Chains A and B, each alone.
Chain A
Amino acid sequence: DAGITQSPRHKVTETGTPVTLRCHQTENHRYMYWYRQDPGHGLRLIHYSYGVKDTDKGEVSDGYSVSRSKTEDFLLTLESATSSQTSVYFCATLNTDTQYFGPGTRLTVL
């Protein structure tokens, strides 16, 4: 609904390598979010942004950093990927009271 795309959609990487996931939106929404989804945990918030260059931590932020240099783009970086960061990553934006999600990125860290 919010014209959200995520790239890449799938990625396999090795432990210790840096990884950046991109979220792009076309609706000029102010708030953007990164979640991870793991079996038995539902979705958990990693970081969120409330404007350009304005970000804050979520529930599971250790090992992740984010940046937002433009309204439409929200980047999630794993500085040195670990196997525990193997997960599905969802980006979302806030439209009025409701979050709408991107299609997700499946990340495997070997």
Chain B
Amino acid sequence: AQKITQTQPGMFVQEKEAVTLDCTYDTSDQSYGLFWYKQPSSGEMIFLIYQGSYDEQNATEGRYSLNFQKARKSANLVISASQLGDSAMYFCAMRGGSGNTGKLIFGQGTTLQVKP
């Protein structure tokens, strides 16, 4: 069975510092995708970054990068130069399974608080 694990319920980071949010996954599929979403206190789900299982380079989107270590089955999100607006809950998710239906399995989330 597929599973996503986020072991950090809450994290603090000082403004302008970098922070890593952990995500490990379990799947027997060869083809899968890994995603990170941000959920601010207003409640919407915002797509941040995507990594395909066959992508050899780590994905980057502005201040976000995904540290993809396939052998360790980890897909950590790195946020560089944290800003106050980065305070939110962050979800790691995986797409996989047969049929290419796009279904996602989510982790439980990590709450990040950025301190001024």
Q: What does the 1/0 interface line of A25-51 toward B look like (CB < 8 Å)?
A: 000000101000000111111001010
A94 contacts B by Cβ under 8 Å: yes
Residues of A within 8 A of B (CB): 1, 31, 33, 40-45, 48, 50, 56, 58, 88, 90, 92, 94, 97-101, 103-104
Q: Identify 18 new A-B residue pairs, CB closer than 8 A, beyond the known A43-B106, A48-B101, A50-B101.
A: A31-B102, A33-B102, A33-B104, A40-B108, A42-B91, A42-B106, A42-B107, A42-B108, A43-B91, A43-B93, A48-B103, A92-B45, A97-B33, A98-B35, A99-B47, A99-B104, A101-B44, A104-B45
A42's partner among B33, B35, B109 (CB-CB below 8 A) is B109
Q: Which residues in A have their C-beta under 8 angstroms from that of B43?
A: 88, 103-104
Q: Are B104 and A45 in contact (CB under 8 A)?
A: yes
Q: Are B47 and A103 in contact (CB under 8 A)?
A: no
**Cα A13 to Cα B73 with chains together (Å):** 43
B102's partner among A1, A42, A99, A104 (CB-CB below 8 A) is A99
Most chain A CB atoms below 10 A, which of B35, B103, B105: B103
Within 8 A of A (CB), among B1-57: 4, 33, 35, 37, 43-45, 47, 50, 52
